Amino acid sequence: MQRLAIILLAVAVFAAVLLARLPAAWVLPALGPRLTCGSVEGTLWRGECSSARLAGVRLDQLAWQVHPGALLGGRLSAELSAQRADAHASAELSVRWHGPLHARDLHARLPLEPALMPMLPPYITGLLEANVAHLVVARDGAIEQLQGTLTVHHLVDSSGSVTPLGSYRLRFPEGPGEPLGQLRDLGGPLWLRGTLRLTAQPGYVLHARVAARAGASPSLLQGLQYLGAPDAQGQRPFALAGTY
């Protein structure tokens, strides 16, 4: 009996050492074609993938550090970062079995392009900057909690003539209930104030008022006419709702 216990202990120690040093290059191919790497370094718990493609998006480097202690509490927790010449993103992610995804200290700076944001029309370009303290995403994709700021710089509409639209900031304060963000412009051809509520469908409801500033392009002024006549302050209300 004592001999069996020693053998089982030896096997357990060997398995623990093997798991702790398990090369990432052995594991990543099991993720399938959604992730490919030109080269892989490190272990399952801490490593990096160079010259990567993740879900069709090209990355110069993808790095991770998994926290093994979280597994004892039934959570998978890891710090992730991704970089390429014109973009970078990092966050600490954690998830429980059949639970929502939590992201903390999410920071990103990336161009608005179809490969990164396929939900956007290809003629809209700009630069997105995200600084999010806490994000909770349900299994169906609904955003249950969001505390942080999203900023779009140098938004441009190229559907007809090239029309600069300016820069905008969406701030979600901490609070209960459905996330409600405050939207405003940061200068440029449009004055804009509004709110964006993220709903449980998952969906969104946007209410805003907009007005053209002096120097707005003729194409922009023409587009605003579809919102109806302005009020005494020169502002036009508009609303959008949908699902994602």
Instruction: Kindly report the pTM of this predicted structure.
Output: 0.86
Tell me, yes or no, whether 199 lies in a domain. Answer: no
- pLDDT, the chain, mean: 88
Write the DSSP symbol of residue 213.
P
Does the pLDDT at position 29 exceed 80? no
Tell me, yes or no, whether 142 lies in a domain. Answer: no
Average pLDDT score over residue span 127-145: 96
Which residues are CB-neighbours of 176 under 8 A, at least 6 positions away? Answer: none
pLDDT at 17: 39
Tell me, yes or no, whether 10 lies in a domain. Answer: yes
Does the pLDDT at position 64 exceed 50? yes
Digit-coded pLDDT (tens) for 190-241: 999 999 999 999 999 999 999 999 989 998 998 899 999 999 999 999 999 9
Tell me, yes or no, whether 54 lies in a domain. Answer: yes
**Domain count across the chain:** 1
Does the pLDDT at position 79 exceed 90? yes
Angle of CA points 135, 58, 101, to nearest 5°: 20
pLDDT category, 26, cuts 50, 70, 90?
low
Does the pLDDT at position 5 exceed 80? no
Tell me, yes or no, whether 84 lies in a domain. Answer: yes
pLDDT at 99: 92
Which residues are CB-neighbours of 189 under 8 A, at least 6 positions away? Answer: 164, 165, 166, 212, 213, 215, 216, 217, 220
Tell me, yes or no, whether 78 lies in a domain. Answer: yes
Tell me, yes or no, whether 106 lies in a domain. Answer: no
pLDDT at 215: 87
pLDDT at 1: 53
Tell me, yes or no, whether 2 lies in a domain. Answer: yes
Digit-coded pLDDT (tens) for 104-121: 999 999 999 888 888 788
Share of the chain above pLDDT 70, in %: 89
Does the pLDDT at position 18 exceed 50? no
Average pLDDT score over residue span 152-172: 93
Domain around 64: 1-99
pLDDT at 12: 41
